[in-house]
Chains A and B, each alone.
Chain A
Amino acid sequence: AQRVTQPEKLLSVFKGAPVELKCNYSYSGSPELFWYVQYSRQRLQLLLRHISRESIKGFTADLNKGETSFHLKKPFAQEEDSAMYYCALSGRSNTGKLIFGQGTTLQVKP
């Protein structure tokens, strides 16, 4: 079964601290993994995707097929990073259908 699991509902850190938002997936094939972010009162938007291997706003995520994980990391959190983060999965055919995790609220305190 296709599934995305984000074990933490809320992650609270102080400004400047490292951040890791966890994401594990279950998929019988080669998935494409994404991180989406939703800032307060804004729509969902793409943060990064594993195939592009980019670093966006200081965030990176590495696909670990052995551990079936796609954790999102940032070495130094900023207050403006406070938002809801969703990990999502799509099949390799990239039909556009996404399976979302439950989401993690990141709270960065001053």
Chain B
Amino acid sequence: GAVVSQHPSWVICKSGTSVKIECRSLDFQATTMFWYRQFPKQSLMLMATSNEGSKATYEQGVEKDKFLINHASLTLSTLTVTSAHPEDSSFYICSARGPKGTGELFFGEGSRLTVL
């Protein structure tokens, strides 16, 4: 099946620094990927839709300048948390639509960000 991989799996950073999280589709091309945020014991909240070769579409309430998304190739989308603060600590998950015809979404393993 289609595989989506995230890196890093976990990261700890100091307040004020920026952190980049990568989301890769390993064996298929993904023109669209999605970034979610999950707080402990809560649901996944869609943050933005990452579109290959164009600007990301952000959900209401999500700061574009805070969460920079780049989708420069058909297999890679990156989420950069800029000037991170402790309240940005969370579990970030990406997903991508599988190869044409399936329509199924495949999820990455998630990246846990802790901001000190």
Tell me, yes or no, whether B54 is within 8 Å of chain A by CB: no
Query: Within 8 Å CB of B95, what residues of A?
Result: 44, 96, 98
Complex Cα–Cα for A85 and B87 (A): 26
Complex Cα–Cα for A83 and B45 (A): 19
Residue from the list B46, B107, B110 in contact with A97, Cβ < 8 A: B46
Interface residues of B in 80-116 (CB under 8 A from A): 93, 95, 97, 103-105, 107-110
Complex Cα–Cα for A9 and B95 (A): 24
Given A9-B41, A94-B103, A98-B46, list of 16 further CB < 8 A pairs? Answer: A43-B110, A44-B44, A44-B93, A46-B104, A95-B49, A96-B34, A97-B46, A98-B34, A98-B44, A98-B95, A100-B43, A100-B44, A100-B45, A102-B42, A102-B43, A103-B43
CB-CB under 8 A for A101 and B43, given A46-B104, A94-B103: yes
Nearest-neighbour CB distance to chain B for A12, whole angstroms, equals 16
Nearest-neighbour CB distance to chain B for A21, whole angstroms, equals 14
Q: How many interface residues does chain A have, given as a range?
A: 10 to 19
